[in-house]
């Protein structure tokens, strides 16, 4: 008797939707609170709090609708076995246009093309509403509809360019991997991740944003001095025109070994009142590097990826598993899709654990910046970024524990004020 794999997956998807909706309701109630948390009274202006509250509530309401539509579509597709029907139709279409549907790579690319079209169509209304209604209403959206469409077309073209060789390579590896399949798959994805980390900031990111060297001046001098004091191999320092799309701000670093680069959003520079606040944010980011957080995170991702491929090799030939989802044959890409659905419980647990680690890393990076003497500046920068980005001021503790990869502002400010936090690094 075949095990009810599909029914188990559907059951867990619905249970997780109910659980996460319960957390969303708790968070929505927290967002509706008319007063600031006590530690933020006198720190955050009343005007910014009201704007933040309105923005967060609008996003929360939109999230309820988006998640309801998503779970309805996903469960419908699985329950009514739309995937096997679409796999069959994509094979027929491939044959009708004169291609060989018996070639699994060609058949798979046709199937994925249809999936991409469906995904674009179903996601587009939500993306448009989020960008041109919610973000625009609260003063964040800077995109024109033309820029939005242009970015979407560029993303599709990149998928068309990069997707086929990657998919073909995975199928060939699975078909010929033998007993060492998990190692081969992991090795390929490891090499691919290194390649993408190399070419993304140089080739792909500039397709969407303009990167210019940070001009000579006090800010550049202070950042370079800080990097040199920590032996950070800073090669280039860029400003990205994030303001062409949004008023949200950020900063990040990237690069291998002795070729590191730092990128500042122009909105970050505009929002911080002085250079030292910006430098304190960079000190926090350099703390992640100095404390090897980026290395640990990369290793963790690679380990989890290897374990997932190992699990996939154990079930990829399970006829009962494929039949439960409505498939008579066992295509490689379908096996990967089904496997991802069957390990949803594990993925949710791992995501929760990774968020716990990420929050610990954030506290440590804050403590690192504090030890460098940037506690007042970092405190001011965090408050300013919270205000300017209209981030949620009130958060439900269960919701934040489950979802947040960064601690809430109240917790970060408390840690910065704690004299014992210097011991964290």
Q: Can you say which residues are annotated as belonging to the binding site for Zn(2+)? A: 284, 288, 362
Cα dist from 361 to 184, 296, 350, 376, whole Å: 32, 10, 16, 20
Q: Show Cβ contacts of residue 36 under 8 Å, excluding neighbours closer than 6 positions.
A: 44, 49, 393, 394
Of the residues 104, 135, 276, 366, only one is catalytic, namely 366
**Residue 257 backbone class (left: φ over 0; alpha: ψ -120 to 50; beta: rest):** left
Q: Are strands 234-240 and 211-213 parallel, antiparallel or unpaired?
A: antiparallel
Give the annotated binding-site residues.
284, 288, 362
Furthest C-alpha separation in the chain? 73
Residue 104: phi and psi, rounded to 5, are -60, -35
366 is an active site residue: yes
Of the residues 104, 135, 285, 411, only one is catalytic, namely 285
Q: Is the dihedral of CA 164, 167, 168, 169 positive or negative?
A: positive
Other beta carbons within 10 angstroms of residue 292's beta carbon come to: 12
Residue whose pair of structure tokens reads 């910014």 in the numeric block? 48
- Residue 30's nearest CA partner among 414, 410, 418 is 410
Active site residues per annotation:
285, 366
């Amino acid at each position: 008797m075949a095990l009810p794999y599909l029914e188990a997956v559907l059951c867990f998807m619905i249970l997780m939707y109910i659980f996460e909706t319960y957390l969303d309701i708790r968070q929505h109630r927290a967002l509706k609170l008319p007063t600031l948390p006590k530690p933020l009274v006198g720190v955050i202006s009343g005007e910014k709090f009201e704007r933040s509250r309105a923005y967060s509530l609008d996003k929360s309401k939109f999230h309820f609708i988006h998640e309801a539509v998503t779970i309805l579509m996903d469960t419908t597709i699985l329950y009514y076995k739309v995937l096997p029907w679409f796999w069959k139709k994509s094979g027929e279409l491939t044959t009708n246009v004169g291609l060989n549907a018996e070639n699994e790579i060609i058949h798979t690319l046709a199937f994925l093309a249809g999936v991409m079209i469906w995904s674009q169509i179903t996601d587009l209304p939500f993306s448009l509403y989020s960008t041109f209604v919610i973000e625009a209403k609260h003063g964040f959206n800077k995109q024109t509809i033309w820029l939005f469409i242009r970015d979407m077309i560029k993303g599709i073209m990149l998928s068309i360019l990069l997707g086929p060789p990657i998919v073909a390579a995975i199928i060939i590896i699975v078909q010929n991997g033998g007993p060492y399949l998990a190692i081969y798959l992991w090795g390929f994805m490891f090499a691919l991740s290194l390649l993408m980390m190399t070419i993304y900031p140089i080739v792909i990111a500039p397709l969407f944003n303009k990167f210019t060297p940070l001009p000579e001046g006090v800010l550049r001098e202070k950042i370079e001095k800080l990097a040199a004091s920590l032996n950070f191999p800073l090669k280039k320092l860029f400003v990205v025109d994030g303001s062409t799309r949004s008023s949200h701000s950020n900063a990040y670093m990237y690069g291998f070994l002795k070729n590191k680069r730092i990128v500042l959003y122009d909105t970050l520079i505009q929002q911080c009142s002085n250079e030292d606040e910006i430098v304190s944010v960079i000190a926090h980011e350099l703390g992640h590097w100095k404390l090897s957080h980026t290395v640990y995170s990369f290793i963790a991702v690679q380990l989890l990826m290897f374990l997932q491929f190992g699990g996939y090799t154990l079930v990829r030939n399970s006829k009962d598993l494929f039949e439960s989802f409505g498939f008579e044959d066992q295509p490689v890409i379908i096996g990967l899709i089904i496997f991802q659905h069957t390990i949803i419980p594990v993925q949710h647990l791992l995501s929760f654990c990774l968020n716990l680690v990420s929050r610990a890393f954030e506290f440590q990076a804050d403590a690192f910046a504090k030890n460098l003497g940037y506690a007042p500046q970092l405190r001011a920068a965090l408050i300013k970024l919270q205000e300017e980005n209209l981030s949620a001021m009130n958060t439900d503790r269960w919701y934040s524990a489950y979802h947040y990869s960064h601690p809430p502002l109240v917790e970060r400010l408390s840690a910065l004020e704690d004299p014992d936090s210097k011991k964290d690094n």
